[in-house]
Amino acid sequence: MQDRIHTADAEPGDDVTVAGWVHEIRDLGGIAFLILRDSTGKIQIKFEKDEMDDELVDTGLGVSRESVVSVSGAVEEEPRAPTGVEITPESVEVVAPADPELPLDPSGKVDADLSTRLDNRTLDLRKDDVQAVFEIRSEILRAVRERFREFECTEITTPKIVATGTEGGTELFPITYFGEEAFMNQSPQLFKQLIAGSNVERVFEIGPIFRAEEHNTPRHLNEATSIDFEGAFCDQNDAMDVVEGVVKAAYEAVSENCADELEALGLEDEFEVPDEAFPRISYEDAIERINATGELDEQLVWGDDLPTEGEKALGDDVGGHYFITDWPSEIKPFYIKDHDDDDQLSTGFDLMHPRMELVSGGQREHRHEKLIEGFEQQGLDPEQFEYYTKMFKYGMPPHAGFGLGGERLIMTILGLDNIREAVLFPRDRQRLSP
Ligand code: ATP
Ligand code: AMO
C-alpha cells in the first residue's frame, strides 16, 4: 500500500491515507467516531453525519470492530481527540472485514484467560500491553547481541537435531532421523565448546533448546530460547563478568529505549536497572544462609541440591540478583571442571534472580583424560560422544561459558507471572499448536 502512512505520522494540514484495525466506534448521534489503530498508535476518524455522503458514513460506521479499513482524508488539529488530531474522511475502504463474534476483546475491556489468549495470539497481540512485551523482547535480544559483540564474540548457530543429549537423559525429545534415533537438542553445550576450542575463541548463540520436562510450572517451557556464551582462555569468574554485563545491558536497553512500552505495562515508575555488582555467594555459604532463615522444614546439608523454597528464602534475604558459586562436583554435569586443589568442589555457578534461576555456567574440563573420567562417573558412554571428546586431544584451551534462559530473563525484567507470556507460541505439556 504505497501511500499508506502510520497513524503516528499524521500531521495537521496533511492529506493522508492510514490503514489499520477498527478499535472502536463511538456514535454520539449527529457525530460519530471511528478509532483506527495500527502498530504506532490510534487516530480518531470523524463522521459528521449531516455533512457527509451517506454511503461514506454507512461504510465507516457499519464496519465491525477489528475489521481492517483504509481511510483517506485531511488531518486536522482537534484538542478533544485522544491524540490531539483527527481525520475527516473523504473515502473509507473495508479491506478485510472481521466476524463480529470475536474470541477475545483486543480493546482489553474484557479479560481473557491465558489459554484463550494463546489460542488467539493475533488478536491478543493487538493489545498495547501484550505488544509491549514483544517489542521489549526484541529490544532485549538486540541489546544482548550488541553486548556480546563488545565482548568480541562471534555469533554462531548450531544443530538442533542431534545424536546425543547432554543435560540429563530423561528430558530428551526423541525423533526419527532417516530411520535412526535422534533427539531435539537440549543445549548447544558441546558444539559451543568445540568452536571455543578453535581460533574463533569466543562465541555466542541465541537459539531454541528443547526440554521434555514433564512438569507444568509458570517458569518452564518445553521449547525455550537459550542465550549461550563460550570463551577460550576464560575461567568461571570471566564468564560471570560476561553474564553480569549481558543482564545489565538488557535492563539498560529497556530503560533507555522502551519508555512507551513500559508505560503500556504500567511499569514506568517502578522500573529499575540493577546498578550494584551481583554478589558471588559460595554454595557452602548459601546453604548456611538458607538454613539460618528457618524457612525450610529440614536443614540442608553439603551435597543437597537447593530446593525452590530454599532459593526463594535466599532470594528474599539477598534482595537482588546473585551468583551461587563453587557447587559440589557431584551435582554439576561432566563438562564442568573441578577446582584444581579439591575434586569435590566444582567451578560451576548459577545466576539467580530472587524469583528463579536464570543462568548455569562454569569453567569446562578441557583435559582429555579427565573429561573421559567425568563421562564414566556420570554413567554416560564416552564412545557415543567421540565426535566431541576427540577434539580435546588436539589442543583444547581452558574455557568457560554459560547458558541464560531468554524467556526467564524477559519474565523477571518485566515481572510477568507466567513464562508463557514471554513467548509468542509457547510449547508446554498441553500445547502443540498454534
Ligand atoms: P448530538 O446532537 O447527538 O449531541 P452533535 O452533532 O450535536 O450530536 P456535538 O454536540 O458536537 O455533537 O458533540 C457531541 C459530543 O462529542 C460532545 O461531548 C463533544 O464534546 C464531543 N465532540 C465533538 N466533536 C468532537 C471531536 N472532534 N473530537 C472529540 N470529541 C468531540
Ligand atoms: P541449564 O540446563 O541450567 O544449563 O540451562 C540454562 C538456563 O536455561 C534456562 N532453562 C529453561 N527455561 C525455560 N524452560 C526450561 N525448560 C528451561 N531449561 C533451562 C534456565 C537455565 O538457567 N549447558 C548448560 C549451560 C552452560 O553451562 O553453558 C545448560 O543448559 O534459565
Contact 224, 232 (CB under 8 A): no
Give me ligand 1 centre to Cα 48, in Å.
Answer: 9
Please identify, by atom number, the ligand 2 atom nearest to the C-alpha of residue 188. 23
Q: Where are the beta strands (DSSP E) in 265-373?
A: 280-282, 322-325, 338-339, 342-346, 349-353, 356-363
Give me ligand 2 centre to Cα 91, in Å.
Answer: 54
364 lines ligand 2 (CB under 6 A): no
Considering the entire predicted model, what is its pTM?
0.93
Please identify, by atom number, the ligand 1 atom nearest to the C-alpha of residue 31. 6
Q: Give the Cα separation of 173 and 317 in Å (integer).
A: 37
Query: CATH number of the domain at 123-279+320-421, out of 1.10.10.60, 3.30.930.10, 3.40.1080.10, 1.20.140.10?
Result: 3.30.930.10
For a mutational test of ligand 1's pocket, the pick from 33, 50, 80, 86, i.e. the residue with the most ligand atoms closer than 8 A to its C-beta, is 80
Give me ligand 2 centre to Cα 209, in Å.
Answer: 8
| Per-10-residue mean pLDDT, the chain, length 434 | 92 98 96 97 97 97 98 98 97 98 92 96 97 98 98 98 79 95 96 97 98 92 98 98 98 98 97 97 98 95 96 96 97 96 97 97 98 92 94 98 98 98 97 96
Give me ligand 2 centre to Cα 193, in Å.
Answer: 16
Nearest ligand (C-alpha, residue 48): 1
Q: ipTM for the complex?
A: 0.86
Nearest ligand (C-alpha, residue 402): 2
For a mutational test of ligand 2's pocket, the pick from 408, 413, 421, i.e. the residue with the most ligand atoms closer than 8 A to its C-beta, is 408
Contact 355, 412 (CB under 8 A): yes
The residue whose CA is least distant from atom 31 of ligand 1 is 80
Which pLDDT belongs to residue 165?
Answer: 81
**Domain residue limits, the chain:** 14-96, 123-279+320-421
Give the rounded distance of the alpha carbon of 413 from its chain centre. Answer: 10
Architecture of domain 14-96: Beta Barrel (2.40)
Nearest ligand (C-alpha, residue 204): 2
Which pLDDT belongs to residue 168?
Answer: 64
Which pLDDT belongs to residue 170?
Answer: 67
Please identify, by atom number, the ligand 2 atom nearest to the C-alpha of residue 228. 28
Which pLDDT belongs to residue 108?
Answer: 83
Other CB atoms within a 10 A radius of the CB of residue 129 amount to 14
Write down the H helix ranges in 173-235. 189-196
